[in-house]
Structure 1
Amino acid sequence: MINLDYLLAFVTAADKGSFSAAGRHIGKSQSTISVSVSNLELDLGVSLFDRTGKYPVLTQEGEHLYEQAKVLMRQADRIENYTSGVRDQVENSLVIGLDPLVPFSLIETPLEKISQKFPFTQIQIKKEKSDGLFTQLNDDKVDFVLHLTEDAIPDYYEFACIHQLEWTCVCSPDSEFADLEIVNNDLLTTERQIICTSLYEHKVLGSVGTLSQSVWLAHDQDDMIRMVEQGIGWAVLPTIMLQERVALGTLVEFTPEYVKSNQSYGVDLVWKTNDSLGPVAHYLRELLFTG
């Protein structure tokens, strides 16, 4: 059986270019690295380094085994990390329910950090309306729900507002709204509005967010953006989703008469009261609270 310490000494020596540099990197003496590599050569029955020069140089066999050794070391690291996670009771999976009104960008950075800190935990994102997500939360099919604040949260749920989401009115560059300093209410109500189904059916924001007499419904806000860019209608969308497209000129912000400043609504993170949260869930909550 291959000794992993010997293998580590071999790979590190090949990476660093000398036994002394490998020893400094690992925290062992040069002689320990040299002995480890020699023992590995004896175990394998091949010469891994040509030692005739000032610095050891990989032989043809050494070059071939070096690539395989790196793969084996990565696999060993994965096994060690996985067993460490098992000991620490790290969750195998975590399910996050995301209402279509909540921009995915709010969880992009936390997800990236989780992927690095807990590489063996599977993350699933469920994107649907809040009512369905709360049903799944109650049935333990979802661990967290992110949604726009609406009715009072039941006592058997914990929640925290993690973000104030600003909203902006936008149209295509070809829209007549694009050149107006303020779009009056009469014009606003007669031109087609693109609305996300979740907003249209929202208990609190539905009536506030629906302003036009002519409405087209889209499944999510990414679809809304594409329809507005095509000049199909105008929309009210989270500002955080628009910055790049406004800078590129595919969307134009405008100010409606009914409001002279950006509107904002809270985004709540919700989870079940007394749920036993594992390390990944705690870490996600911490990231969202501080983000």
Structure 2
Amino acid sequence: YEGPRGGAENIARTLEDAGIDGILAIGGEGTLAAANRLWKDGINVLGVPKTIDNDLRATDYSFGFDTAVNIATDAMDRLRTTGDSHQRCMVAEVMGRHVGWIALHAGIAAGAHVICIPEVPMSIDEICQQVTSAHDRGRAPLVVVSEGFTITGMDEAHSHKGLDAFNRPRLGGIGELIAPEIERITGIETRATVLGHIQRGGSPSAFDRVLATRLGLHAADALVDGAWGQMVAMRGTDIVRVSFEEALGELNTVPLYRYEEAAALFG
């Protein structure tokens, strides 16, 4: 919107000159917020959810999430074997700015001994108790942490990388902050690995391929129908249409009962 070539009028003129009837915005929270702004300014826009964080409440799943979980799980399986060979505690940091779905699902799948997510702050002592419990039983502890996780007492998520394209702090590094504290308190040699952008690439899972295909088909139907200002979404096994307002209303946070299910397996 900024600059001499920005703004709704210039965007509308460019679309008209190019013979484009509307925009199909494919992305997550930031992309859909921009799409909603365009829609309110009179631009024909339709949304498709695509975010590995799975943080859009209006859809049960967004494509990219399942693939990211599979990639993270595979990486954690590898970390567990190297941890076993040296009896180290391994800390795996995964993506998840506001929500901990990747950490929760990949952590459960990989048999993590502690899972740290943004929705549930924990103290270093609580983490170390679970690490020590696993180590005392002859296990090499695996700690999975979302990038947006905060240690009890922290005012905000750890960030030291500036701002992203939407002027949000670039998160990352909380795993490397936790690892030396675990080693200091428990005496267990601890290593941190930040999976980073490896979670965002590679071949998509079969589930994501099917979901993306179904969303694409329904998005095409919505375009033909002129259903602007809406997003296609997965509800149960159905693909439905929801307004941008509903899509952006609240984040799809991890419910406490889902975290408690995983926590029953900690230590």
User: Normalising by structure 2, what TM-score?
Assistant: 0.30
- Return the structure number with greater relative CO, CA threshold 8 A, min gap 6: 2
